[in-house]
């Protein structure tokens, strides 16, 4: 089991009101699985991904990532840097940095030195070898999103958490992104947790769930 969650609850305050976004979320995910999650806008998909990605903490409940129970860990940074990569709807590349510099940001944060051979192979794998010294403004939308995926896997994580990864792409580039996720899953046994409104993205899940009324329902 690479990821499990038990009885997750998350609330937010809106003035005098308490909004119960996640009520009782449970899931188990094996290594190498692709979990796709759908749900209406505002159902709590992004909130759930923030909890699973250690970007936020639940009010109650338990999350275990690769045998690491988050309840027993004070500093999530080490877990996040080692085990998790993130892909968002917007690429969030830094305009002033070239592509190599953007890709290696997570390594710098984790205090790792990047092996040049590994970097070269990674750029070849993503078909971006000729873009190493380019800047984000020089890239197409599809290329920028591919760079963001490369950045997500630079530290060789076991889990990729993707929040609407095709939401800012045209249909052609969205299909390429779906193919890339499946290739990464097959080639590196990467585990994916993907929240999406895109039916084609949702369909690639070997485990599909719907977030409704604060709980996850398997489909």
Domain ranges of the chain: 3-218
In this structure, the strands spanning 159-163 and 191-195 are parallel
Rounded-to-integer distance, Cα 97 and Cα 25, Å: 39
pLDDT number for residue 171: 92
Strand order across the beta sheet in which 191-195 lies: 84-87, 159-163, 191-195, 34-38, 207-212, 215-218
pLDDT value at residue 92: 86
**Can you tell me the distance from the alpha carbon of 205 to that of 37, in angstroms, rounded to the nearest whole number?**
9
What's the pLDDT score for residue 196? 96
Give the pLDDT of residue 188: 94
Topology of the domain comprising 3-218 = Rossmann fold (3.40.50)
pLDDT, residue 90, reads 83
Q: Which residue positions in the chain have pLDDT lower than 50?
A: none
According to the model, what pLDDT value does residue 14 have?
Answer: 84
């Amino acid at each position: 089991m690479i990821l499990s969650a038990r009885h997750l609850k998350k609330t937010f305050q809106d003035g005098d009101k308490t909004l119960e976004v996640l009520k009782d979320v449970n899931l188990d995910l094996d290594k190498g699985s692709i979990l796709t999650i759908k749900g209406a806008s505002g159902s709590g998909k992004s909130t759930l991904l923030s909890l699973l990605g250690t970007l936020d903490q639940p009010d109650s409940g338990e999350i275990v990532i690769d045998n690491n129970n988050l309840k027993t860990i004070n500093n999530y940074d080490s877990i996040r840097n080692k085990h998790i990569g993130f892909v968002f709807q917007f690429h969030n590349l830094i305009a002033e940095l070239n592509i190599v510099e953007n890709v290696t940001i997570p390594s710098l944060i984790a205090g790792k030195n990047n092996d040049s051979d590994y970097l070269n192979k990674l750029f070849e794998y993503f078909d971006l070898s000729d873009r190493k010294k380019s800047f984000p403004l020089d890239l197409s939308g599809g290329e920028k999103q591919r760079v963001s995926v490369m950045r997500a896997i630079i530290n060789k994580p076991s889990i990729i958490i993707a929040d609407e990864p095709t939401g800012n792409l045209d249909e052609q580039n969205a299909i390429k992104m779906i193919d890339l996720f499946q290739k990464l899953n097959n080639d590196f046994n990467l585990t994916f947790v993907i929240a999406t409104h895109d039916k084609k993205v949702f369909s690639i899940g070997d485990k599909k769930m719907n977030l409704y009324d604060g709980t996850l329902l398997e489909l």
